[in-house]
Amino acid sequence: MQIRWYSYRLARCESDTSSERVTSMKRLKNLSFAWLITLASLVLANTPADGSELSVADRAVVAKYRAARIDRDMYIARSTIKNSDRQIKGAPARLKREQPAVDKAKAAFQAAEKVLAQRENELEAATAKANDSDEATTKAAVAEATKKRDQAKQELNRKSYALKRAEARLENVQKSIDKAKSDKAKAEESIPKLEVALKEATAVYEGLRKQSVAAELKHAGTQKPQTVSDAVDRLIDERLKKENVPASALVEDGKFLRRATLDIAGRIPTYQEVVEFLKSDAEDKRAKAVDRLLTTADYGRTFGTIFADLTTHRPTTTATRTRDHFRGWLIECLNLNRTWDDIVSDMIAGEGDTGSNPGTIFLVAYRLNNQPNPPDILAASGEMFMGLQIKCAQCHDHPFVDDWSQDDFWGMAAMFSRVRLKGSSVYRALEYELTDNDVEEKELFRVGGGVKYPAPLPNGQIAIPDPTDETKTIKTVSAQYLDGFKPELQEKGFYRRDFANWLTSPENPYFARAMVNRLWGHFFARGLVQPVASMNPENDGTHPEVLSLLEKEFRESGFDLKHLIRCIVRSRTYQRSSRPTDENIEDKTLYSHMAVKTLEADALLDSLTIAIGRPLMSDNRRQSYKDLFDTRLPDVDPGKFTHNIPQVLRMMNAREYNDASTVIAAATNDKPTEAAIENLYLAALARKPTGEETKTMKSFVDESTNTREAYSDVYWVLINSAEFLVNH
Amino acid sequence: MFNRRDMLRLAAAGAFASSVSWLDIVARRGLVQAAESGRKHKSCIVLFMSGGPSQAHTFDLKPGGHYKPIKTSAEGIEISEYLSEVAKQMHLMSLVRSMKTGDANHQTAHYLMRTGFRQGSGGLDYPHFGAQASYQLVKNENRMPNFIVLKPGSGSKNGFTNGYLSSAFSPMVMTDVSKGIADLQPAREMKTFDRRAELLAKQDESFFEQYRISAAKEKMDAYRKAIDLVHYDKATEAFQLDKEPANIRKMYGEGKFADQCLGARRLVEAGVPFVEVMHPGYWDTHGGAEAGQRRYSEELDRPMAALLQDLNDRGMLDDTLVVWMGEFGRSFNGGNHHAKAWTTGFAGAGVRGGQVIGKTDSKAMTVEDRPVSVADFVATIYHALGIDHKQEVQVGDRPIGLVDGEANPVLELFS
């Protein structure tokens, strides 16, 4: 923490591309349809007009959400037509209801007019009579007539008012019908234009996506992951030798494919994939398989889901649709291999609405009283992007790390103190609009959950609430970074961008290693530093040299996630068998043998689906299954068996998991028993059965009266086996 | 004793079993005996009012409030006019009017009130106290599910977790008790199912021998329990509400909540140690407390009263604890969340009914006597169930208390 990398970063900021990108994101909002059409067709096809150096992948993502925006406008236009139609259709009935009311009010008004005229006449008569006579009775009659006349006047006023109201109601109905008609016409008119725009925007996106994939392949060709993997292996092996722990053998081909497919694509390989892989005798077939997996959409889906779950913690107050929107964006970014610094910058410093820039849902996910809550956002950023548990310092100086005080925590939280949500509109995804400009300075406390947080003060200052008394604050501190450096902030400003620049700078000592440790933990079931998000200064972990090596590589590659994955997965360390020997069974930290991980909800669901030969479930269908299967809590030991009784019952007894007839038929039709059994093992477990297993299964099949049913019994056993339920 | 089918299955398992077979005969005998000898452990039913029931509209009425207080079967206790049936059973139940918990955010408060711990504290996930209690009470040597949640309507699921405990104690969440346990029927006939199970045992055994993984025992436990459930007649019968005589069904009344309350009694009777029944409504009555709290109270009234009476009539109230709770209370007019003073109810398992513990001010918004913290509240439940709340469980290499810090259980309830 001695290096003051921020000065470098601040200097770079002047012409920083990432902040320009953010600016270009900002420009996306408030665009009219016409604008979009022009923009989609002209600007995106070429270099952006502002000349910023967006990568092709960046531009592809922007293009995708631009298209999504047009799609949304189309949805709104269609809904408008539908709603207008409903109004127009209901118009005669509404008019029929309102017209008689007007008629009735008019009749009442006219009747009241008549009454008034009559009362005037009576008064006139009474007055005439009184003028002719001095009798007291005539005076009283005048008074009485006056009173009655006044009453009639009042009544007329009332009726007049009622008539006006009825007429206004009728007029409103008429107006709303006219408005519905004109809305409908406008919407109808806009749809063909939108269709064209969408088509063009989609084409632009597709073009950019293809360009991006090609660029990525070309770039990957220049990288040398194997040299890094070999260096990792040397370090790991040296340590094993030093500790006198023998390593297990390398894992067999089929099991390797199953492991890598589960880790990268979040599912087991299909029978076809297994057979083809086993058939190949290419020397680099494992590396090739990994490259292939990294180009499948399953790669983005797997890691997008993991990162989305980590960054918008479960359970959360954020609606499922909103989280899905965020997840979809992450998936897209990962599949296009946008660099990690760019992805994170968009999450932290993105502007505008979450529809066009879904990365900012990261900020929306941590709300208090429906506003982004700085301490929570900071704590989440610490965990996910820096691998640090800084949360403890929210209420008191950090108990384990002397350097981190409460002031440091709140000083960093101040960087998020100005972000606000400007209302939300319900669409297919709940959308929020973010702003850092019109923040209420006077608002001293936001109340929610019995805890109060202070509103932002000018110049990036923040007041620290008293954890023991919610109505008080302890003191006011200035914005600062983790090493105590206080940036110069404007009175009112877009502080998040400064934070994003600091965070994703190559000089930031936490950013790269946090991701290296996170990914290493994903593949090996434990981080090089454990727990993965507790890389606090005192916690060196088991293999600091491996961590620095990969950290350097990740930084120098420009935070290239797929490259980092290749470096890890190509190592012999990753390719070791999970079968322990008597000499290394006690080892849990030196990587003498591979850890065994229980499949979490998504991987288990998708693997079962592959096993029964069905297409993977869409997001809509998925939710109810995921609700049942998702019993793994964050930060639980990945080796722990977390499936409960309802899940086990589902796997054993549900009709669909008992109907793998197409897979079974393909594997067993016209095959001798032993070959059939072998194929069933390949389909479910990506390996051939052992001699013992073949013997057991064969005698089971032989003892059965119906061979076809016996095969489905065997397959049932395999997909309910412990081996199926783990990645080993 | 064993029934014939159990004997056959045990024999079959034994024939294949090696020393580490997961259809281990001893374990099976343990299960069977525990089940056949009847319900030996204490049990608990939690009636959970998600969204925050208003204390001033239910059990802690104050002058100037929306509703009229009425007298109850317990001398000196008055409750809401819309809980007139519960009022008749008040001698069985006691009120804690001095809950002081501090978290008035739905999501985190559900977690807090169901586990006794703040979400995320200590970097651990904590079990629902129902999971912990059933673990302490039956240690998985129980043929029925260990912990069932009946959730017929809205409300938060936050806190439905086995936390650091085995997934055998993860709550089985059901929307309607009368539908029974999902996927309990094998896809093929029972004989085939048994043959498959035996073959599965062999397949797993060789995998475990080679890989010696830590998850082996829990995998075996989960499958063994699920396979046993498939065979266990009571696991079907307990859910069949239509087996209840007409007079009992009438006593509980009609509606989703009535069915779940009756179901909860049947489940406890069949050996489920812990059942949480969620009220189908969401008591979060911002703006419209007067109408909303009344509607939900009326839905609550008869089934809750019937449950207390029914348990009492059967002598089950002696060892069954019934808890009435939400995640927090509400401000006096019922408009806002309020966690600094609210009410819970306790009956059975040694609780002397007809008492009021604690006291609040004239608006039921500030505790004036005997504040009861989250830890106190959870410790009270453990105490009633005969579980030592001071004990620690080993989680990895950390000893973790059953409650968060020092607790002062409400022992006055039991005097």
pLDDT at A18: 40
CA–CA distance, A680 with A661 (Å, rounded to integer): 12
pLDDT at A50: 42
- All residues of chain A having their beta carbon less than 8 Å from the beta carbon of residue B204 are 721-723
pLDDT at B225: 86
Percentages helix, strand, coil for chain B, rounded to the nearest 5?
45, 15, 40
Domain B43-180+239-414 is in which class? alpha beta
CA–CA distance, A339 with A53 (Å, rounded to integer): 14
**Contact check, Cβ <8 Å, B207/A722:** yes
**Contact check, Cβ <8 Å, B167/A631:** yes
CA–CA distance, B16 with B23 (Å, rounded to integer): 9
Mean pLDDT by 10 residues, chain A (728 residues): 33 36 37 41 42 80 91 88 91 88 93 94 90 82 91 93 92 91 94 94 94 90 93 97 97 97 97 96 96 95 91 64 88 96 94 86 80 85 90 66 77 85 54 70 42 62 70 79 80 86 92 97 94 85 96 96 97 97 93 94 94 87 80 73 89 93 93 96 97 96 94 97 95
Q: In what helix (H) or strand (E) does residue B46 lie, and over which residues does it extend?
A: strand B43-49
Q: Please tell me whether the peptide bond between B63 and the residue prior to it is cis, using omega within 30 degrees of 0.
A: no
CA–CA distance, B78 with A612 (Å, rounded to integer): 61
Residues A553/A591, Cβ–Cβ less than 8 Å: no
Q: Is A654's Cβ below 8 Å from some Cβ in B?
A: yes
Closest by CA to A223, choosing from A556, A600, A578, A687, is: A556
- All residues of chain B having their beta carbon less than 8 Å from the beta carbon of residue A654 are 183, 187
CA–CA distance, B128 with B352 (Å, rounded to integer): 26
CA dihedral B119, B121, B126, B128 (to 10 degrees): -40
Residues A562/A492, Cβ–Cβ less than 8 Å: no
Distance between A395 CA and the closest CA of chain B, angstroms: 12
Residues A567/A553, Cβ–Cβ less than 8 Å: yes
**Contact check, Cβ <8 Å, B199/A713:** yes
Nearest to A649 among B182, B192, B195 (CB): B182
Place of tokens 């008429």: A174
Burial A676-696 (b: 16+ CB within 10 A, else e): bbbbbbbbbbbbbbeeebbeb
CA–CA distance, B192 with A430 (Å, rounded to integer): 49
Distance between B410 CA and the closest CA of chain A, angstroms: 25
Place of tokens 């559900």: B110
Question: Which ranges in chain B are annotated with CATH 3.40.720.10?
Answer: 43-180+239-414
What one-letter code names the amino acid at A38? T
Place of tokens 């090996």: A524
Question: Which ranges in chain A are annotated with CATH 1.10.287.620?
Answer: 67-221
pLDDT at B397: 77
Residues B206/A685, Cβ–Cβ less than 8 Å: no
Q: Give the A window 429-448 contacts with B, CB below 8 Å.
A: 448
- All residues of chain A having their beta carbon less than 8 Å from the beta carbon of residue B208 are 722
Residues of chain B with pLDDT under 70: 1-39
- Is B68 strand, coil or helix? coil
Distance between B187 CA and the closest CA of chain A, angstroms: 5
Q: Is A648's Cβ below 8 Å from some Cβ in B?
A: yes
What architecture (CATH level 2) is domain A67-221? Answer: Orthogonal Bundle (1.10)
**Contact check, Cβ <8 Å, B182/A716:** no
Q: Angle, to 10 degrees, between the axis of helix B190-211 and the axis of helix B4-16? A: 30
CA–CA distance, B37 with B217 (Å, rounded to integer): 26
Between the two ends of chain B, the Cα-to-Cα distance in Å is: 39
Q: Give the A window 526-585 contacts with B, CB below 8 Å.
A: 531, 534, 578-580, 585
How many contacts (CB atoms, under 8 Å) link A and B?
157
Segments in A133-252 forming alpha helices (H): 136-222, 225-243
Closest by CA to A194, choosing from A70, A366, A277, A95, is: A70
Quote the ipTM score: 0.84
Residues A655/B187, Cβ–Cβ less than 8 Å: yes
CA–CA distance, A69 with A681 (Å, rounded to integer): 47
Q: Which of A717, A719, A726 to mutate to test the interface with B (most CBs of B within 10 A)?
A: A717
DSSP secondary-structure letter at A596? P
- All residues of chain B having their beta carbon less than 8 Å from the beta carbon of residue A652 are 183, 186, 193, 223, 226-227, 230
- All residues of chain B having their beta carbon less than 8 Å from the beta carbon of residue A391 are 120
Nearest to B200 among A637, A690, A720 (CB): A720
- All residues of chain A having their beta carbon less than 8 Å from the beta carbon of residue B160 are none
